Amino acid sequence: MTAATDILTYDLDALRDRVMPETSGTVSDSIPQLAHADPDLCAIAVVTIDGELRTTPDADAPFSIQSAAKPFLFALALHDTGRAALGRVGIEPTGEAFDAIKLESGTGRPPNPMVNAGAILTSSIVDGGDVDARTERIVSGLSAFAGRSLEIDDDIAASEHLLGDRNHALAHLMRAEGTLQVDADEAILVYARACAVLVDAEALATMGATLAAGGVNPRTGERVVSREVARDVISVMATCGVYDGSGRWMREVGVPAKSSVSGAIVLAAPGVLGAAVVSPPLDERGTSVRSHRVSDRLSADLGLHSFDV
């Protein structure tokens, strides 16, 4: 038996029931729409690299993708630039919060694509000559990862744009360093829209599975990015995906992942499966408490830890 076959008989509903009594954590209030998220939501979806799907009943509940978009924005930037994006953004963990006002010393580049500065930069270099064209490229690219047409929640995008003072500061800092080559406000507009793309656990798990399958969406058969790009992205998820909790995450869960302020975590176990868990209450590092618990258990029960010998 392998993890991919074990998951076919795994009781995801029982796992969900097991973590539901955990009520610690706080729902983000960074924008009003997130503050209104249901704290009792806890949805899980798993997609194997053969395209098998397993879900809990809430796996079709919509939420804004927020920072879980970052690996896929990096993937699209790598794809669209023939991997030249690797020269535009660092790949070292920061040990700091997701929105720290800090760039790589010496180069003025964002430290890595999994923090806000990095995602503002990667979303500025995807194909497209203006804000709308880049937005369209991002929505169609994320949709190809998800295997279905995704849409932006315009109210969430507007709030993100209006209330993202630290993101505006980061964009202006990168302009001053010469590393952001588009207008700062336009960069934030595109990044805010990318954060506001609506997904559900099923779509996000499929996105993770597309990376885990080396860039081919296992449910549609479409090659979305090259194998090299998928490997680049998963590597950086492993080292930087959970912000200043990345080291602890890799030791405990051992599966490359990306957390987000909406309470979602997307996981990519290379050559095995992708998964997504969403539950809004967050710990002090901005990681969903229940999503972390679920990831811990899934990794242990299915033997997914990358460094388990």
Give residue 199's Cα distance to chain centre.
11
Contact 268, 256 (CB under 8 A): yes
The reply on whether position 123 binds ligand GLU by CB under 6 A is no
Q: Which residue is nearest to ligand GLU (CB)?
A: 67
Q: Is 116 an interacting residue with respect to ligand GLU (CB under 6 A)? A: yes
Q: Judged by CB under 6 A, which stretch of 138-146, 160-168, 268-276, 293-301 contacts ligand GLU?
A: 160-168
Q: Under the criterion CB under 6 A, does residue 67 sit at the interface with ligand GLU?
A: yes
Instruction: Say how many residues touch ligand GLU, by CB under 6 A.
Output: 13
Beta bridge partners of 273: 48, 269
- 120, 177 contact by CB (below 8 A): no
Q: Which is nearer to ligand GLU, 54 or 193 (CB)?
A: 193
Interface segment toward ligand GLU; rule CB under 6 A; list 41-49, 159-167, 201-209, 296-304:
159-167
Return the residue of 55, 112, 167, 279 that touches ligand GLU, per CB under 6 A.
167
Q: ∠267-225-183 over CA atoms, to 5°?
A: 90
C-beta of residue 104 within 8 angstroms of C-beta of residue 56? no
Interface positions, 173-232, toward ligand GLU (CB under 6 A): 195
Strand, coil or helix: 37: coil
CA torsion sign, 21 to 22 to 26 to 28? Answer: negative
Kindly state the tokens that stand for 197.
Answer: 């793309």
**Please, which residue, 56 or 260, has the CB nearer to ligand GLU?**
260
Binding site for ligand GLU (CB under 6 A): 30, 66-67, 98-99, 116, 160, 164, 167, 195, 260-261, 286
